Amino acid sequence: MKKLNVAIIGQGRSGKDIHGKYYRSTDNQYYNVKYVVDGDEYRRSVSEKIYPSCKTFANYEELFALDDVDLVVNATYSEMHYPITKDLLLHGKNVLVEKPFGRSRYECDDLIKTAKDKGVVLAVFQQTFLAPFYQFVYDTISSGKLGDVKQINIRYNGFSRRWDWQTLQKKCAGSTYNTGPHPIGMALGFLDFDKDARVVYSKLDTALTSGDADDYAKILITAPNKPLIDVEISAIDAYTDYNIKVQGSKGTLKAKPSVYDMVYICDGENPERPVIEEFLKDNNGNPIYCSENLIKHIESEKFAGTAFDIGTAKLYEQLYFKITEGRDMTVTPEMAADIISVIETVHAQNPLPLKY
């Protein structure tokens, strides 16, 4: 199997410790890191040690003249995702761009059109769709095991403060642009990317951040005859014990990337009770509370792997065969564009003051 030559633009946390970790792992049977681009001299020197056979550049435009680059990974600052990706596509390069895909739906659609016009592959690094915990929850909902699902809560919360570039609106940052593509993406996924999905309520705010971007977000999304999805991304919640909670007519499921717990009932084991219009009473005539002991089933199991290992490996494997054989990928640019549409809508509904 011929390995594809990769150029990575950016050696921050994503380029070095997420994409780079995959490239250096045994899961990588498909790629060879041949070029690394970063404006920082120290990071370039580190890259040359990590990838002894690679060549480094300070400017990504050096890649344009090279005919041995099969894939470029754009792991730059968020506000640079659109202009650099478009530049690469116009020069005939296949591109994997980090999330967020862009700042606006216009930017995303423009990149999709540019890739099609140039006949190159464009992919977005939204590997959470391939994470075991997301796929398990999606499959469980689809199976009907939880009955008619009424509500899904998605929480990406913690109790912490940031003061880096990811707190600045001018950098296309903040919780919804940085973290949001994961929970908002899952929300749209649970709605099967229904074209009639809409944001029915949203609120953005700043709490602990030192910057001017949001670190608190509440977003309610739904579609006709679909569950209500309650998305929360908060820097001031120290007590959330799940990332996803599903409430259905037959049970409840909660899951984190590492483990799930589920309580559910089965058809036929709890026959329907007739409605009693009069007040309930015991054998002596005293009023009693309406209650019963349902026959319930309880499951709990750990997941093998997360979005950062299995999810990343699956996405890169799919991308390899997309480039070499034209196979479809689970995560499409159109899906990533729908996610940005939600984020753009939420920001339009909740403009925050610019301070920097």
Phi, psi (5° rounding) for residue 283? -65, -20
pLDDT recorded at residue 258: 97
Residue 16 lies in domain: 4-125+309-326
pLDDT score, position 59 = 98
The answer to whether residue 227 is domain-embedded is no
pLDDT in tens, 188-223: 999 999 999 999 999 999 999 999 999 999 999 999
pLDDT of residue 1: 83
For the stretch 227-248, pLDDT in tens is 999 999 999 999 999 999 999 9
> Would residue 112 count as lying in a domain?
yes
Task: Verify cis geometry, omega within 30 degrees of 0, for the bond prior to 100.
Answer: yes
In CATH, what number is assigned to the domain containing residue 57? 3.40.50.720
Cβ atoms within 10 Å of 246's Cβ, excluding its own: 25
Q: Is residue 166 part of a domain?
A: no
pLDDT tens digits, one per residue of 272-297: 999 999 899 999 999 999 999 999 99
* Paired tokens of 187: 């929300």
Instruction: Check whether 163 has a pLDDT greater than 90.
Output: yes
| 97/9 Cα distance (integer angstroms) | 10
Q: Would you say residue 62 lies in a domain?
A: yes
- Going by their DSSP bridges, the two strands 216-222 and 228-234 should be labelled as antiparallel
349/115 Cα distance (integer angstroms): 31
- For residues 159, 164, 165, 170, the Cα torsion angle rounded to the nearest 10 degrees is 70
Number of domains the chain contains: 1
151 in a structural domain: no
pLDDT on residue 312: 98
Share of the chain above pLDDT 70, in %: 100
Average pLDDT over residues 300-306: 96
Q: Within a domain: residue 99?
A: yes
With residue 244 as reference, give the H or E element that holds it.
Answer: strand 244-248
Helices (H) and strands (E) in the chain, counts: 10, 14
Whether residue 102 lies inside any domain: the answer is: yes
Give, as one character, the DSSP assignment of residue 285: S
- Is 70 inside a domain boundary? yes
Give pTM, 2 decimals: 0.95
The model's pLDDT over 110-153, given as tens digits with 9 standing for 90+, comes to 999 999 999 999 999 999 999 999 999 999 999 999 999 999 99
Give residues with Cβ within 8 angstroms of 26, minimum separation 6: none
